[in-house]
Amino acid sequence: MPVLLDWDTRFFGFPVARLEAQELAPAELSDCLEWARERGVRCIYVLREQDDTISAAALSAIGSQSIDERSTYTAVLRADVPHPSAGIRIAQALDVPRLKEIAAVAYTDARFFVDTRFDPERSAALYMTWIERSVHGGADLVLVEGPLGAPRASASVHFLPDRAQIGLVSVAPEARGQGLARALLLGLMEATIQRGLTRMDVVTQGRNLAARKLYESLGFHLTRVQCWHHLWLDQAH
């Protein structure tokens, strides 16, 4: 069955739920929709493995196509990762306003922007909130490039027991193509090795060619592809 998402429900202002689909049969899907209707849920995020053709068929039968390929890239870090160039530093509270401006326009490949049923202003606010929280302790480390109060790029990471998980990576539109994301990621890789971890994961969208090329150029390999579906309950299913 789906689970209600409290944070998303509060943030978007209507009930949202999430379902991890595994070989989802049509009857099970119909039960999930019933469960959601009873609770006034307006949207269910469904996540399935790309090769789960059973779930794909059940979803397709109710007219739902995937809206995003959730692509996980993994790197096994070597101890001799190159030292990042100068100009990389830890984010400070004073950087937050500019980082929020950058975040507001950076993530247009994300499923919340692609699905036009979500208000684009709320979707931008989601990433603004995320970077602000990350700097204030939500992430274990946020690195930035650029002067205090006027950073041009940022990248965040969480250190888990067995790996580092990259969070947000964004570069101001006018500063792209200058190696800033590469430098920030090298900084995160160095910090990961210093923590005694050798595995690093990052999730991006299948349609985000720039991000995929960036991670591949740093030795990451595609290790998992999942598909997001958005089921809107006020549409006929």
Q: Which residues bind ligand COA (CB under 6 A)?
A: 106-107, 109, 169-171, 176-182, 204, 208-211, 213-214, 217
Torsion angle of the four alpha carbons 42, 11, 142, 169, in this order, in degrees rounded to the nearest 10: 40
**Least spacing, CB of residue 184 vs ligand COA, in Å:** 8
| Beta carbon nearer to ligand COA, 4 or 222 | 222
Residue 88: enclosing H or E segment and its boundaries? strand 88-90
**Least spacing, CB of residue 74 vs ligand COA, in Å:** 14
Q: Describe the crossing of helices 53-61 and 26-38 by its angle, rounded to 10 degrees.
A: 60
| Beta carbon nearer to ligand COA, 81 or 211 | 211
Burial of 11 (0-12, 13-18, 19+ CB in 10 A): middle
Residue 165: enclosing H or E segment and its boundaries? strand 164-171
**Least spacing, CB of residue 77 vs ligand COA, in Å:** 17
Of 98, 101, 99, 126, which Cα lies nearest the Cα of 111? 126
**Least spacing, CB of residue 170 vs ligand COA, in Å:** 4
| Beta carbon nearer to ligand COA, 45 or 73 | 73
| Beta carbon nearer to ligand COA, 4 or 175 | 175
